């Protein structure tokens, strides 16, 4: 299984990352996209990627932390990406639930990271909350994602799935789809092309229901796959191989090796 979005460097779990990855492997999860969120965690992401071969690094500024960047943050980001030919860019994006709103700042930092992705030919992992109109506008103006990417933990309307796919996006679902009240995610899932579907835990966040916490981990990915299989009326094994192939094709592009 391929976990297309997690944060193994998160302070809450980083000290037990070796155990978490061993447990994940025993559960059948052998690939992870480990996403940075601020300049402060990029070194830990790089370290995890260097030690664990299944962990693909992503470096980026998350929309919640755009006000904390240093001068020259984009040069530092480029260096991290250039030093690792497998690295993606993420977690980046727009979040209109942030208070106070800092939309322009978020857009500037997001667009700069999309430019770097094109320049260094890398895929991206995108966070979007209640900012669908802006995301679409930005992606359209750029002619889509040249090297692809994923909308992580998809929470947008089902009607946008096709448009996002045409702009080069894969659509990734997290444990929030396990909640039966989340009809919107189930409807969106049915619109996703099989070759654009991804799964993720967003560990250590989004703990699935009835799992002892307090933190989520990649070993729980099977639960999300099972739910997706139930909604799409496919076998879990089919969802496993499909999402693994999609994740590997997007994030472990042989052309970059
Ligand atoms: Zn995340």
pLDDT tens-digit profile of 124-179? 999 999 999 999 999 999 999 999 999 999 999 999 999 999 999 999 999 999 98
C-alpha of residue 6 to centroid of ligand 1, in Å:
6
Residues 6 or more apart whose CB falls under 8 angstroms from that of 222 comprise 1, 27, 28, 236
The DSSP secondary structure of the chain, one letter per residue, reads -EEEEE-TT-TTTGGGHHHHHHHHHHTT--EEEEE--SGGGHHHHHHHHHH-TTEEEEE---GGGGGGPPTTHHHHHHHHHHT-TT-EEEEEEEETT-SS--HHHHHHHHHHHHHHHHHTT--EEEEEES-HHHHHHHHHHTTS-TT-EEESS--S-GGGHHHHHHTTEEEEE-GGGGSTT-HHHHHHHHHS-GGGEEE---TTSSPPTTS--SS--GGGHHHHHHHHHHHHT--HHHHHHHHHHHHHHHHS-GGG-
What pLDDT score does 47 carry? Answer: 98
C-alpha of residue 91 to centroid of ligand 1, in Å:
6
C-alpha of residue 127 to centroid of ligand 1, in Å:
7
C-alpha of residue 151 to centroid of ligand 1, in Å:
10
pLDDT tens for each residue of 6-65: 999 999 999 999 999 999 999 999 999 999 999 999 999 999 999 998 999 999 999 999
Q: Which two tokens stand for residue 32?
A: 């992870």
C-alpha of residue 201 to centroid of ligand 1, in Å:
9
Distances (CA, A) of 85 to 48, 162, 195, 252, 253: 15, 30, 24, 10, 10
C-alpha of residue 184 to centroid of ligand 1, in Å:
20
C-alpha of residue 243 to centroid of ligand 1, in Å:
18
pTM above 0.85, yes or no: yes
For residue 256, pLDDT over 80 is answered with: no
Domain range annotation of the chain: 2-256
C-alpha of residue 190 to centroid of ligand 1, in Å:
23
Partnered with residue 31 across adjacent β-strands are 2
C-alpha of residue 202 to centroid of ligand 1, in Å:
5
Distances (CA, A) of 132 to 54, 104, 148, 200: 32, 15, 18, 20
C-alpha of residue 221 to centroid of ligand 1, in Å:
15
C-alpha of residue 149 to centroid of ligand 1, in Å:
14
C-alpha of residue 203 to centroid of ligand 1, in Å:
8
For residue 202, pLDDT over 60 is answered with: yes
C-alpha of residue 36 to centroid of ligand 1, in Å:
8
Whether the Cβ atoms of residue 118 and residue 141 lie closer than 8 Å to each other: no
C-alpha of residue 166 to centroid of ligand 1, in Å:
23
Q: Which numeric CATH code is attached to 2-256?
A: 3.20.20.140
């Amino acid at each position: 299984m391929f976990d297309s979005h997690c944060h193994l460097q998160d302070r809450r779990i980083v000290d037990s990352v070796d155990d978490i990855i061993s447990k994940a492997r025993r559960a059948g999860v052998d690939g992870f996209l480990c996403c940075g969120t601020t300049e402060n965690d990029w070194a830990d992401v790089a370290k995890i990627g260097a030690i664990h071969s299944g962990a693909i690094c992503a470096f980026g500024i998350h929309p919640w932390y755009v006000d904390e960047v240093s001068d020259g943050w984009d040069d530092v980001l480029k260096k991290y990406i250039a030093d690792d030919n497998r690295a993606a860019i993420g977690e980046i994006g727009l979040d209109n639930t942030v208070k106070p709103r800092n939309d322009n700042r978020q857009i500037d930092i997001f667009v700069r990271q999309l430019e770097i992705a094109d320049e260094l030919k890398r895929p991206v992992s995108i966070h979007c909350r209640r900012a669908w109109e802006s995301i679409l506008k930005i992606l359209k103006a750029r002619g889509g994602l040249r090297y692809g990417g994923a909308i992580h933990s998809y929470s947008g309307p089902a009607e946008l799935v096709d448009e996002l796919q045409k702009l080069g996006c894969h659509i990734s679902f997290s444990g929030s789809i396990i909640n039966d009240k989340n009809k919107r995610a189930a409807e969106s899932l049915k619109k996703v092309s099989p070759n654009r579907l991804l799964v993720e835990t967003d560990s250590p966040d989004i703990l699935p229901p009835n799992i002892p916490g307090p933190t989520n981990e990649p070993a729980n990915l099977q639960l999300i796959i099972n739910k997706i299989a139930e909604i799409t009326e496919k076998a879990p094994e089919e969802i496993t191989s499909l999402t693994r192939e999609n994740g590997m094709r997007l994030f472990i592009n042989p052309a970059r090796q």
